[in-house]
Homo-oligomer: A and B are copies of this chain.
Amino acid sequence: MIGIVGLGRIGLILASAFLNKNFRVVGYDIDPERILENIYSGSVELHPEEIVREIIISSYNKKRFSIRSIDEISSEASDIYNIIVPVNWVGDKPDFESLKRASEAVGDVLSRGDLVIVESSVPPGTTRGLVAKILEKRSGLVAGRDFGLAYSPERVSIGRGFYDLTRNYPKIIAGIDNYSLEIVSLIYSEISEKGVLRASSLEVAEFEKLAEGIYRDVNIALANSLAEIARRIGLDFWEIRELANSQPYSHIHTPGVGVGGVCLPYYPKFLLWYLSSVGEGKCWCGELIALAREINTDQPRRVVDLVLEGSKIIGIEDLYRSKVCVLGLSYRGDIPDTRESPTYHISRELVSRGFSEIVIHDPFVARDDFLEKIGVSLTSDLRECLSNSKIIISATDHGVYKDLSTNHIKHLSGEKKILIIDGRNIIKYSSESDDSRKCLYGGIGKKWMWC
Q: How far is the CA of A152 from the CA of B382 in the complex (A)?
A: 43
Contact B233 A274 (CB under 8 A): yes
Residue pair B288, A211 in contact (C-beta under 8 Å)? no
User: Are the C-beta atoms of A233 and B275 separated by less than 8 Å?
Assistant: yes
Q: Could you say which of B208, B235, B295 contacts A204, with CB atoms under 8 Å apart? A: B235
B283 in contact with A236 (CB, 8 Å):
no
Chain A contacts with B in 194-208, Cβ cutoff 8 A: 197, 199-201, 203-205, 207-208
> A35: CB under 8 A from chain B?
no
Are A285 and B232 in touch, CB under 8 angstroms?
A: yes
Which chain B residues lie closer than 8 Å to A66 at the CB level? none
Can you list 8 pairs linking A and B with CB atoms under 8 Å apart?
A170-B246, A204-B239, A207-B233, A209-B244, A214-B222, A229-B280, A288-B292, A291-B291
In the docked arrangement, what's the CA distance between A352 and B219, Å? 36
A361 → B minimal CB distance (Å): 29
**A284 in contact (CB, < 8 A):** yes
Asked if residues B240 and A208 are in contact (CB atoms below 8 Å), the reply is: yes
Residues of B within 8 A of A370 (CB): none
Pairwise interchain contact B288-A197, C-beta atoms closer than 8 A: no
Contact of A225 among B203, B239, B285 (CB under 8 A): B285
Contacts A216-B249, A284-B298: A235 and B201 contacting too (C-beta < 8 A)? yes
List 6 tightest A-B contacts by C-beta distance, closest first: A228-B285, A208-B243, A169-B247, A211-B244, A208-B244, A225-B285
- CA A317 – CA B219 in complex, angstroms? 45
- Which secondary structure dominates where chain A touches chain B? helix
Whether A207 contacts B235 in the complex (CB less than 8 A), given A172-B246, A244-B215, comes out as yes
In the complex the two chains form, what is the Cα distance from A436 to B56 in whole Å?
63
Residues of B within 8 A of A309 (CB): none
A243 contacts B199, CB within 8 Å? yes
CB distance B240 to A211 under 8 Å?
yes
Given contacts A247-B169, A283-B232, A298-B284, contact A214 B200 (CB under 8 A): no
Q: Are B292 and A246 closer than 8 Å at their CB atoms?
A: no
Asked whether, in the complex, the Cβ of A233 is within 8 Å of the Cβ of B285, the reply is no
CB nearest neighbor in B for A285: B228
Could you tell me the distance in whole angstroms from the C-beta of A146 to the nearest C-beta in chain B? 26
Given known pairs A207-B230, A240-B211, A278-B233, the reply for A246 and B169 (CB within 8 Å) is yes
Contacting pair A287 B278 (CB below 8 A): no
Q: What separation, in Å, do the CA atoms of A179 and B198 have in the docked complex?
A: 58
Contacts of A295 in B (CB 8 A): 284, 287-288
Which residue of chain B is the closest to A230 with respect to CB atoms?
B207
Q: Are A233 and B203 in contact (CB under 8 A)?
A: yes
User: How many Å lie between the Cα of A234 and that of B285 in the bound state?
Assistant: 14
Residue in B205, B208, B229, B287 whose CB lies within 8 Å of A271: B229
In the complex, which residues of chain B have a beta carbon less than 8 angstroms from the beta carbon of A232?
275, 278, 280, 283, 285
Distance A282 CA – B229 CA, assembled complex (angstroms): 11
